[in-house]
Structures are given as C-alpha cells and as structure tokens.
C-alpha cells in the first residue's frame, strides 16, 4: 500500500472509531437533558430514572470518546504535519475555541456525575445544559476545520508562503454553517434513535412485564419523537449541503452523483455503481431532471460533470455508493418516524406491531452507519486535496515511514476497546436491572 494511503487508512480508522463515541457523546446529553426536563415538569420518576441510567452509559462512552478524541487530535499533527502547519497559521481558532468547549464539557460532566446528589435541581439542569452545549460546540468547531478543508478562505499561498491571513474569515468559511449544522442535527438524530432502539429491544424482550413495558414505552416515544424531528431537519439541511457542493466543490457533487457530462436537466441516479470506462452508472435508477432541480431549484440548472476536470482531480468514484447509502439511511429513518407518528397519533393505536418494533431496533445502528458513510463520503470526496485546490493530501503527509505497524497497533486497541465497552455496559446494566429501580420507586 502506498504511503499516503496507509496514512489515510490509519487516520480514517481512528476517525471511524472516534465518530461512534463522539456522535453519541453529542446526541445522548440532549436526551438526558430532555428526560431531566420532563421529570421536572411531570414529576414522573421514570424520567429521572432514564436520565440517571443514560448518564451512567454516557460516562462509560465518554471514557472512550475522550481518549479517542485525544488520539485524533494528536494524530493530526503526527500524520499530517504539512496540513497542520497551514492550520496553525490560518485555521487555529476553531481548535483553540474547541479547547474551551472541551473544558466546559469535562468540568460539568464530572460535576453532574459525581456531585449530582449535592447540587440543587436547577444546578443539575444548568450543568447538563452546559455538558450538552460543550459537546455540541466541540462537534461544531471540529467540523469547522473540515468545512475549511473543502472551502478554504482567509489566506493565499504565494511562492509557497502563506500570505494575507485573516483568521476570522477562515473561521467563517462559506460551508461552515451548513456543514456544522448537518453534523449536529445528525448526531441528535442518532442519539435519539439509539435510545429508541434500546427501548424497543427491551419492550420486545419483556413482553409480559407491564411495568417494564411502560417504562421503555416512554423512552421509545421520546426517542422516536426526537429522532423524527431531527431526521426531518437533517434531510432539509442535507439538501442545502448538496447545493453548497454544487456551488463550491462541483467535482465532489459530480462524483457523488456519477455525472460525467456537464448538462442542464441533469438526471438523478439512485443506486448502482459508477463505471470509469463507460462513464455511466451501472444498474442505477435514473430520475430525469431531478439532479438539476436539487442542485439549483430549477430544471435548467447546469450541473458540472467530471469530464470538465482533469482526471487526477477526480475523487474516487465509489463515493457515489457511499453518498447513496447515507441518503438512503436518512430517508429510511425519516419514513420510520412518520409511520410511527401516523400509527400512534392518527390511527390512535397504542401498541406497535412487532415488525415495526424490530425495525426500530435497527434504527440506532443504522443511524450510526449513516454517520460513518457520510464522513467517509465527505473526506474521500475531497481527495486528492486535503485543502481544496490549495494543498494535496500527499503534500501534507508525514515523512516518517513504518506506518503499517502503527496501523496494526491502533486498530487492535480500537477493536479491544469496542469489545470492552460492550462488555462493561452489559455488565453494569445486568447488575442494575431496571426492575430493581422500578420497584423501589413505585
């Protein structure tokens, strides 16, 4: 494997691992906060119990999210020193501000977890709100660096020197708002569906235990409602993201859609595999005119195709599949929430059928998978650039060799931690079954 690819594989694996925990670290605090608020409003002890149990799980997840985030942050400098040199000179602000967000999250999470019994309910809500804000802000700021890689502003490179630096202009680069919103909304969606998945699973497992059913039903409804709202918002925002690509990174959109020829009334191709030789998408379903409409809200919008760019600037063509997988999962989850809503509110059925419950069980893992596909698409679709049209990934990579060994080491640690975290979560919740709390709270 060539050096750049090995470095990308190593960093990509770190990110793929970290994203699981980071996403839940952003999504779950919102759910805990909502449960706390519902408890303060309804005084229904079940919600307090939810907040309590989810906090335990969150503390365990953050035990992995924090060190893996540390790895990601440091590995950036170790693997991509050329990139970080530019970032240090131009785009240092989001990293720096993220530190403050990180501090807010760490301080108040410790306070909420270890001092919950000593602080007032108001202070608990405030602490939790600060944890949620800190987590979301971290995600927003790190996404800002990613946005900058796609739409760099605030500097020029002249004879290899970085000149005309305006750090705030770089900070507020054109894709910042839309991209960061996309990440936060999809993280909230994922957190909510993960909760819904777990609740649905327990309802299926404890069919004859009415009290347990009731508890999980509340969690399920909360998860489905929040998940539904955020999947809708994610979809609307995803549409804006695509329009942004059309404007700023046309070859990325072209690769995502498998479009080779520049054209107006461009079709949208769903599914299939892009074929470089024949310049077509094989086995895809073509919907005429739709891509032009999605890109510019008009059917006569001209969408630029890959052939307008030199071939060495093309991203890998498999990003079409990743893009489809991400959008497909998002649509499916949106549909799932709508079905649930119709069933519950409009048909007024209070018991969901089994097939629906089992589908909900898959929602959390699917949402996480969607996040992974989205990230791989976003970063692979930018290749060969690390900073769009400014610096290639090959220019940024470390000069040190022997990355293969490191890759093996880090991957085995990730696999090990993944297994450990599942075992620890299971072991904790086995020892603290919900029955025991429900009976004491009744």
Residues in contact with other proteins, shown as a per-residue x/- string from 23 to 62 under the rule CB under 8 A? ---------------------------------x--xx-x
Cα–Cα dist 80/12, whole Å: 12
Please pick, from the candidates 5, 16, 37, 93, the single residue that binds other proteins as defined by CB under 8 A: 93
Cα–Cα dist 220/214, whole Å: 10
| C-beta separation of 363 from 11 below 8 A | no
| C-beta separation of 276 from 258 below 8 A | no
Stretch that binds other proteins, among 67-75, 207-215, 243-251, 265-273 (CB under 8 A): 67-75
- Indicate the length of the chain as a whole number: 442
Cα–Cα dist 397/142, whole Å: 20
Please pick, from the candidates 55, 75, 190, 234, the single residue that binds other proteins as defined by CB under 8 A: 75
Least CB distance from residue 48 to other proteins, whole Å? 19
In the region spanning residues 112 to 151, those forming contacts with other proteins, defined by CB under 8 A, are: 113-115, 118-119
Cα–Cα dist 13/379, whole Å: 13
* Dihedral sign of CA atoms 346, 348, 353, 359 in order: positive
Measured torsion, CA atoms of residues 330, 336, 337, 343, in degrees rounded to the nearest 10: 170
- Of the two residues 131 and 366, which places its CB atom closer to other proteins in the complex? 131
Cα–Cα dist 200/359, whole Å: 9
Cα–Cα dist 243/214, whole Å: 44
Q: Is 410 in the site for other proteins (CB under 8 A)?
A: yes
In the region spanning residues 95 to 114, those forming contacts with other proteins, defined by CB under 8 A, are: 95-100, 102-104, 106-111, 113-114
Least CB distance from residue 250 to other proteins, whole Å? 30
Q: Is 86 in the site for other proteins (CB under 8 A)?
A: yes
Residues 6+ apart with CB under 8 A from 128: 29, 32, 33, 36, 108, 112
Q: Is 413 in the site for other proteins (CB under 8 A)?
A: yes
Task: State whether residue 2 is helix, strand or coil.
Answer: coil
Q: Is 73 in the site for other proteins (CB under 8 A)?
A: yes
Cα–Cα dist 20/24, whole Å: 6
Q: Is 428 in the site for other proteins (CB under 8 A)?
A: yes
- Of the two residues 6 and 337, which places its CB atom closer to other proteins in the complex? 6
Stretch that binds other proteins, among 94-102, 176-184, 286-294, 333-341 (CB under 8 A): 94-102
Least CB distance from residue 417 to other proteins, whole Å? 6
Q: Is 167 in the site for other proteins (CB under 8 A)?
A: yes
* Dihedral sign of CA atoms 113, 226, 322, 296 in order: negative
| C-beta separation of 39 from 387 below 8 A | no
Please pick, from the candidates 25, 27, 29, 82, the single residue that binds other proteins as defined by CB under 8 A: 82
Measured torsion, CA atoms of residues 347, 352, 355, 356, in degrees rounded to the nearest 10: 80
Please pick, from the candidates 34, 90, 139, 366, the single residue that binds other proteins as defined by CB under 8 A: 90
CA distances (Å), origin 246, targets 64, 303, 367, 377: 37, 7, 25, 15
Least CB distance from residue 141 to other proteins, whole Å? 11
| C-beta separation of 3 from 401 below 8 A | yes
Task: State whether residue 353 is helix, strand or coil.
Answer: coil
Cα–Cα dist 362/398, whole Å: 40
Please pick, from the candidates 270, 394, 421, 438, the single residue that binds other proteins as defined by CB under 8 A: 421
Residues in contact with other proteins, shown as a per-residue x/- string from 339 to 378 under the rule CB under 8 A? ----------------------------------------
- Of the two residues 108 and 193, which places its CB atom closer to other proteins in the complex? 108
**What are phi and psi for residue 391, nearest 5 degrees?**
-145, 135
- Of the two residues 63 and 174, which places its CB atom closer to other proteins in the complex? 63
Please pick, from the candidates 19, 24, 51, 64, the single residue that binds other proteins as defined by CB under 8 A: 64
The residue written with tokens 């949402």 in the block is 367
**What are phi and psi for residue 273, nearest 5 degrees?**
-125, 135
- Of the two residues 205 and 426, which places its CB atom closer to other proteins in the complex? 426
Least CB distance from residue 64 to other proteins, whole Å? 5
- Of the two residues 338 and 409, which places its CB atom closer to other proteins in the complex? 409
- Of the two residues 59 and 233, which places its CB atom closer to other proteins in the complex? 59
Least CB distance from residue 429 to other proteins, whole Å? 10
Stretch that binds other proteins, among 39-47, 80-88, 221-229, 377-385 (CB under 8 A): 80-88
Cα–Cα dist 134/130, whole Å: 6
Q: Which residues bind other proteins (CB under 8 A)?
A: 56, 59-60, 62-64, 66-71, 73-75, 77-82, 84-90, 92-93, 95-100, 102-104, 106-111, 113-115, 118-119, 162, 165-168, 398-400, 402, 406, 409-410, 413, 417, 420-421, 423-424, 427-428
């Amino acid at each position: 494997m060539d050096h750049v690819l090995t470095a990308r594989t190593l960093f990509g694996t770190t990110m793929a691992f970290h994203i699981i925990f980071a996403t839940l670290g952003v999504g779950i605090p919102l759910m805990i906060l909502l449960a706390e608020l519902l408890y303060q409003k309804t005084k229904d002890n079940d919600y307090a119990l939810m907040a309590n149990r989810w906090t335990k799980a969150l503390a365990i997840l953050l035990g992995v999210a924090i060190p893996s985030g540390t790895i990601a942050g440091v590995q950036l400098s170790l693997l991509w020193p050329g990139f970080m040199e530019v970032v240090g000179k131009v785009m240092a602000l989001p990293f720096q501000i993220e530190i403050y967000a990180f501090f807010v999250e760490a301080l108040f999470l410790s306070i909420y977890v270890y001092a919950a019994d000593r602080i007032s309910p108001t202070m608990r809500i405030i602490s939790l709100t600060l944890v949620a804000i800190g987590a979301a802000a971290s995600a927003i700021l790190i996404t800002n660096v990613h946005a900058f890689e796609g739409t760099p502003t605030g500097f020029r490179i002249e004879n290899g020197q970085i000149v005309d630096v305006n750090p705030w202009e770089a900070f507020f680069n054109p894709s910042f708002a839309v991209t960061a919103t996309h990440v936060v909304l999809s993280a909230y969606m994922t957190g909510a569906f993960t909760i819904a998945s777990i609740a649905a699973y327990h309802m299926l497992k404890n069919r004859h235990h009415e009290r347990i059913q009731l508890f999980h039903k509340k969690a399920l409804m909360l998860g489905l409602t929040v998940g539904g709202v955020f999947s809708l918002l994610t979809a609307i925002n995803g549409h804006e993201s695509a329009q942004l690509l059309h404007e700023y990174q046309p070859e990325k959109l072209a690769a995502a859609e498998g479009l080779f020829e520049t054209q107006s009334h461009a079709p949208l191709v769903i599914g299939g595999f892009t074929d470089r030789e024949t310049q077509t998408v094989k086995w895809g379903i073509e919907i005429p005119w739709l891509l032009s409409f999605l890109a510019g809200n008009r059917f006569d919008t001209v969408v630029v195709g890959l052939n307008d760019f030199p071939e060495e600037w093309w991203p890998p063509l498999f990003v079409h599949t990743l893009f489809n997988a991400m959008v497909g999962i998002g649509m499916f989850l949106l549909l799932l929430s709508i079905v649930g809503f119709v069933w519950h509110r409009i048909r007024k059925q209070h018991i969901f059928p089994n097939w629906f419950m089992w589908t909900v069980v898959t929602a959390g893992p699917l949402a996480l998978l969607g996040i992974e596909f989205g990230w791989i698409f976003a970063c692979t679709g930018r290749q060969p650039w690390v900073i769009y049209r400014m610096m290639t990934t090959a220019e940024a990579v470390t000069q040190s060799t022997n990355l293969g060994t490191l890759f093996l080491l880090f991957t085995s640690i990730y696999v090990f931690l993944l297994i450990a975290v599942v075992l620890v979560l299971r072991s904790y919740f086995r020892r603290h079954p919900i029955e025991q709390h429900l009976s004491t709270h009744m």
